[in-house]
Chains A and B, each alone.
Chain A
């Protein structure tokens, strides 16, 4: 059974703070790592698909890095805003293409 972990489980920050959280995944048989944002009462929305070790992706104030050799990815949010409040999910895909496993998510609350 593939194990994908995310930490912290939840996070409260003040508006304007920068923050980051972690996704840990198996370091073998890596194919891709996806990040999604899931806002309350909405469906998950894709942020990034990362495939290469050392990859860095950026979308506005949100960026992500990838280390496939040690099996982790960081998601960074610069200058958090209340609208960033959501659950952030990572998902690991193995190179057999058969397994796509979501982590439990990090719930971010940005306080105005």
Chain B
């Protein structure tokens, strides 16, 4: 069974640019979660998608957005990038209340 896959592994952008991160969940999982781990901080919840709809979002500005496609894969978009957006972005998938399975993450660096 293929795990959660994220792409790209690394992404380098400059301030003001836009970034798109992608996540493919485990087959059969309908929920996708996005988390940010900035340097020295824990996992911060960003977004939760289930069955194509946004179910909840964390305490992040609107320039963080995303969507979930009919095949349950998901995109995270970050507009107007700022230096403090540099972080590891983790995607996780699950079905119902089963544990979340995490991808290896995308490391976003803002220069």
Which A residues lie at the B interface, using CB under 8 A? 1, 31-32, 34, 36, 42-46, 48-49, 51, 89, 91, 93, 97-105
Contact = CB atoms under 8 A, between A and B. Distances in A.
Interface residues of B, number: 21
Q: Which of A49, A100, A101 has the most CB of B within 10 A?
A: A100
A43 B102 contact: yes
A98 B97 contact: no
Contacts of B42: 89, 102-105
A48 B98 CA distance: 9
Interface in B21-66: 33, 35, 42-43, 45, 48, 55-56, 59
9 contacts: A34-B99, A43-B4, A44-B102, A49-B97, A49-B98, A99-B56, A100-B45, A100-B56, A105-B42
Given A46-B99, A100-B48, A100-B56, 9 more contacts: A43-B102, A44-B90, A44-B92, A49-B98, A89-B42, A93-B97, A97-B55, A100-B45, A102-B45
Interface of B: 4, 33, 35, 42-43, 45, 48, 55-56, 59, 90, 92, 97-105
Nearest to A6: B42
Contacts of B101: 46
A13 B3 CA distance: 32
B66 to A, nearest CB: 16
A60 B34 CA distance: 30
Contacts of B43: 44, 89, 102, 105
B89 to A, nearest CB: 12
A31 B97 contact: yes
A46 B100 contact: yes
A43 B98 contact: no
A48 B59 CA distance: 26
Nearest to A49: B99
B21 to A, nearest CB: 15
